[in-house]
Structure 1
């Protein structure tokens, strides 16, 4: 995922003859689905859902952008590939520009291209294939905990725990060198924060794709046992180098920053809730349900990829015109009371709800089970290794990301004993 939210606004505004070349941000009124108060979406998002589960975002210059905050309404949009498009051309306006700037992958593709590309990846994300990564995931977690134990003074869980674990897991999955993980982290993170501007984000995508094309070329010559090597072995020239690099970039981006944010914010929930800390430390049977409630409550991917109406369509009684943009607020939908009572609150004992943290429909995150494996391994290992761990600073002093599609905390300093 890129900072398409800003790019969408800039591109469509320029079409209307407006010089917005110096703008790095959307107008504040458009940022409602990206605003939070600590771990929670701002109350206005919930009020909007109760009042109008499908509402128009107040964006200037005549742009028609709809915000979907209801759970059932979001499912209706996300599952409807016939009347809604994800195609990258919608963001840049012309096929030529799309060919040059398209990051590839699944998020900005429609059937039949999306169907073909997803079919290439699906065998590598079955539980049978993913199970081979479980010992490696456990080893990676333990290595990071060992590094934390050796550190002097306070430890930043973002740097020592949240970032390295998914980065190393993705490197192992793809079959790329571990020594490149810092570059991967930099390139992946640069595309998520809207305050960097659309140009910075697209530059990060370009750098990442250039590197991954080099990795693909090496895999063509000598295919390994990672995801890229396996696809090359099984499909050969059926898939191009550009497509492979795009798929790898999508796996990296979707699997790295999202899981890193979950690891950090989930650790914060544990640090602020002694009963949850104790539950995860002592009860193996509770971990799966705990992770599902965290996924629902935190919903780090706040907004799904934009959908573009191919034709006039009605959603929950609201008429959306052909060409209109629809944004589904995943964080809003996951707090909808249709899922249960008191959904604005984290409840460690809640039975798993059918949340949309991984999206829904044809574009549902293909790496959902891998993310679950990482979270289920990392949280109990952390609290068992450091049972006296506590925040070094008051919670109100923590700094969270602003206007970021993937929500997160900038740092999480803790004392281990």
Structure 2
């Protein structure tokens, strides 16, 4: 039987690709070839993806050329980041930093995140009654928050935002991606060195004071700097675009702001913007869902279809802000579940609630179908979102 070829590109603004849904219905665990030539197993059901992500026999070490996410820019001298590690190194490093992301510590940041959000909206309203929401709000808020968390000087915000954008852009060549990664890593390494000399009240300084290895901390800082704003910025743009397109959902939130927490959770489930984090490499023969995955074979969990699995979520293709489906996989699952998920939730809740409260006349400035979405690449979002009021 011929190996089917599938694309990971988005084909619809809201729904997973139809071929992914068909796999979930007809062949939920399938050996496929991606359009870039990689061959691997794809998992499409919630239970199977969750099982795979929770099993340490599926490796996250991208230095192995057989790993689905191995990239040419990852050389032998590459310092693994947290998301690229397996136990015991992953366990040790995550345990050392997880205290920075507890619900209690992050709750203390709410007033500052509110200030940052209000300032961005103030600046947006001070201009013409039309703006690109990505540039004016979706990017500045999470980038400022993660910068302050790490202790990045305000003057350096534009450098890291532009360089990280180069790193995650889907049309970036391996050489350009490597160069952008090199610039960011060099910057973070310099920042860690500076914190060692002049510590402040920030994550990097606290980690150094607790004995963190500077090189490990540099890799962690790089990861947090890129992941800490790109995915949240994408979610902000998608949430706002959806609310302005589906006006009945917008009315729900305006009539009952207490639904915001549930709306954020539901929108995370609905869009599942990150796919690349659900890729693993089998380190031994493992049976999953009745299928034998051989040692050395790659596996990709299609979390977009897992989060629309009708055996787990009633009417999964509908937005239901009362669902409170915290068992979704938008932040992954298991030992590598997103470290910054609580921070992302807080930012999304504050941005959406504040935006709807302060700009009640907000509307799309272009038809929804004309919004330039990021249909390729590891993270879904909008390149720009023109709005008016």
Name the TM-score class by shorter chain. over 0.9
Greater mean deviation of Cα atoms: 196-205 or 315-324: 196-205
Is the 2:53–2:278 Cα contact (8 Å) retained in structure 1? no
Match of 1:129 in 2: 105
Match of 1:80 in 2: 55
Which residues of structure 1 form unaligned runs of 5+? 1-27
Shift of 1:278: 2.5
Shift of 1:309: 0.7
Shift of 1:282: 3.7
How does 1:175-214 map onto structure 2 within 5 Å? 175-214=151-190
Distance 2:103 2:290 in 1: 40
Shift of 1:357: 0.4
Query: 1:64–1:322: structure 2 CA closer, same or farther, 3 Å change rule?
Result: farther
Match of 1:6 in 2: none
Distance 2:350 2:35 in 1: 46
TM-score of the superposed pair, with normalisation by structure 1: 0.87
How does 1:5-404 map onto structure 2 within 5 Å? 29-32=5-8, 34-59=9-34, 64-81=39-56, 83-91=57-65, 98-102=75-79, 104-235=80-211, 239-404=212-377
Shift of 1:84: 1.1
The structure that is helix-richer by fraction is 1
Is the 1:36–1:42 Cα contact (8 Å) retained in structure 2? yes
Residue 300 of structure 2 aligns to a residue whose secondary structure is strand
Residue 277 of structure 2 aligns to a residue whose secondary structure is coil
Shift of 1:60: 8.4
Residue 36 of structure 1 aligns to a residue whose secondary structure is coil
Query: 1:353–1:170: structure 2 CA closer, same or farther, 3 Å change rule?
Result: closer
Which residues of structure 2 form unaligned runs of 5+? none
Root-mean-square deviation over aligned CA pairs:
2.0
Query: 1:318–1:336: structure 2 CA closer, same or farther, 3 Å change rule?
Result: same
Shift of 1:142: 0.1
Is the 1:303–1:331 Cα contact (8 Å) retained in structure 2? no
Distance 2:384 2:36 in 1: 37
Residue 55 of structure 1 aligns to a residue whose secondary structure is strand
Is the 1:85–1:308 Cα contact (8 Å) retained in structure 2? yes
Distance 1:261 1:206 in 2: 24
Is the counterpart of residue 406 in structure 1 residue 379 in structure 2? Answer: yes
Distance 1:63 1:357 in 2: 24
Distance 1:221 1:372 in 2: 33
Distance 1:61 1:346 in 2: 33
Distance 1:62 1:141 in 2: 43
TM-score of the superposed pair, with normalisation by structure 2: 0.93
Distance 1:57 1:283 in 2: 45
Shift of 1:336: 0.8
Is the 1:88–1:98 Cα contact (8 Å) retained in structure 2? no
Distance 1:334 1:129 in 2: 29
Per-residue displacement from partner, 1:275-303 (whole Å, max 9, x unpaired)?
22223234232111111001000111134
Is the 1:86–1:305 Cα contact (8 Å) retained in structure 2? no
Shift of 1:91: 3.4
Query: 1:39–1:62: structure 2 CA closer, same or farther, 3 Å change rule?
Result: closer
Is the 1:339–1:354 Cα contact (8 Å) retained in structure 2? no
Shift of 1:65: 0.8
Shift of 1:242: 1.5
Distance 2:309 2:257 in 1: 29
Distance 1:176 1:74 in 2: 36
Distance 1:279 1:147 in 2: 27
Query: 1:216–1:348: structure 2 CA closer, same or farther, 3 Å change rule?
Result: same
Aligned length, in residue pairs: 381
Query: 1:339–1:393: structure 2 CA closer, same or farther, 3 Å change rule?
Result: same
Distance 1:136 1:359 in 2: 27
